[in-house]
Amino acid sequence: MRQLVLGLALLACSLLIAGVSVRRYLNAASGGPPAAPPATATVAVAPEPTATPTPTLGPTPTPPSLSARAALVMRVEDGEVLFAHDADQPLPPASTVKILTALTVLRHARPETIVTIQPEDVVDPVEESAMGLQAGDTLTIHDLLVGLLLPSGNDAARALARVVGEQLDGPEGASPEERFIAAMNELAAELGMTQSRVLTPDGEDVEGQAVSARDLALAARAFLEEPALVRIASMREATVRVGGPQARTLRLANTNALLGERGVFGIKTGTTEAAGQCLVAAWRTVAGQVYLAVVLGSQDRYADVRTLIDWVGRREG
């Protein structure tokens, strides 16, 4: 029995060895690959996403340094204020108030109306800016607007206030000029000029008369909506034919020395002892964008406005 068990064990070992040899032989004969080791799973690890860099705008240019007591820059298209310095401070306006004078005239009078100049309209050209009117002269309201906006004629301002004021309603006993000034203040209120009080049609130094740079920008923006006024304000010079006993031709030059420079096409200068140098300037960029700059109480209005134009160019591109 013992010999039988030993024989069976030897037989099993022989068969096992023979099976392994046969399997190796068959694999070699068929060219098959050797048995592969157990497979291991490979996990693909996605790289961490990199943040997209946030685009950065160019640095905002340093705020301009000006000599003006108050200043403001406005983009005309949307009315956005790009720069302001004491822009809500009421200050003497000098002849920049004539922007509002012209708007009031255009609202209440026809440009072709003929006006006869009265003695009270005439001013001394040595003492005040004037277009050179004399009593008895006849000319149109349009020509008076030319005299108002180019040489900044106080005589034109007074004649316009008188003639237009005669057509306006007002308190009993109010003079034509007083009624006209009331209409100027009504228009100022409609335009949102909350820091302004107009007392004269020409902007002379009168206690209590004041406007802010922001308010003047609002008036100037309305001015730019009137093609007839823009055409006048953009002229370097003009000739006006005056009728009457002393018929003659007046050659009028624009007081705005920036016209034609850096795209400037208007609008109004002003200078008095109390107001200092003032300027409301409009300019158009090469891209067609229009801007307004207001400087009040300046020591050098043209240098200040040039600085503002350059600053806008750096800011807006």
pLDDT in tens, 146-204: 999 999 999 999 999 999 999 999 888 999 999 999 999 999 999 999 999 999 999 99
pLDDT confidence of residue 59: 53
pLDDT in tens, 2-23: 443 334 444 443 434 444 343 4
Map residue 250 onto helix, strand or coil.
strand
Q: Regarding beta strands 81-85 and 70-75, do their DSSP bridges make them parallel or antiparallel, or are they unpaired? A: antiparallel
Residue 26 pLDDT class (50, 70, 90 cuts): very low
pLDDT in tens, 88-107: 999 999 999 999 999 999 99
Q: H-helix or E-strand containing 74?
A: strand 70-75
What CA–CA distance (Å, rounded) separates 217 from 76? 9
Q: H-helix or E-strand containing 178?
A: helix 176-190
> What does the angle CA 184 – CA 217 – CA 70 come to, to the nearest 5 degrees?
110
Mean pLDDT in the chain?
A: 86
Q: What is the mean pLDDT of residues 44-55?
A: 37
What CA–CA distance (Å, rounded) separates 304 from 67? 7
Q: What is the DSSP letter of 55?
A: P
Top-confidence residue, 22 or 269: 269
Closest CA to 106 of 274, 19, 233: 233
Write the single-letter amino acid at 219.
A
Top-confidence residue, 12 or 247: 247
Give the residue carrying structure tokens 């902007």: 203
Residue 264 pLDDT class (50, 70, 90 cuts): very high
3-state helix, strand, coil in the chain (%, to 5): 35, 20, 45
CB 234 within 8 A of CB 222: no
Q: Exposed (0-12), middle (13-18) or buried (19+): which is 243, by Cβ within 10 Å?
A: middle
Distances (CA, A) of 37 to 172, 225, 228: 115, 88, 95
Q: Does domain 70-316 have CATH number 1.20.1250.20?
A: no
Q: What is the mean pLDDT of residues 65-74?
A: 97
Top-confidence residue, 215 or 52: 215
Q: What is the mean pLDDT of residues 17-31?
A: 40
pLDDT confidence of residue 2: 44
Instruction: Indicate if the pLDDT at residue 61 is higher than 90.
Output: no
Percent of the chain whose predicted confidence (pLDDT) is above 70:
80
Give how far the C-alpha of residue 59 lies from the chain's centroid of Cα atoms, to the nearest Å.
19
Residue 316 pLDDT class (50, 70, 90 cuts): confident
Residue 56 pLDDT class (50, 70, 90 cuts): very low
Q: Exposed (0-12), middle (13-18) or buried (19+): which is 278, by Cβ within 10 Å?
A: buried
What CA–CA distance (Å, rounded) separates 317 from 314? 5
For 125-142, the DSSP string reads TTTS------TT-EEEHH
Instruction: Indicate if the pLDDT at residue 33 is higher than 90.
Output: no
Phi-psi region of 133 (alpha: psi -120 to 50; beta: other; left: phi over 0): beta
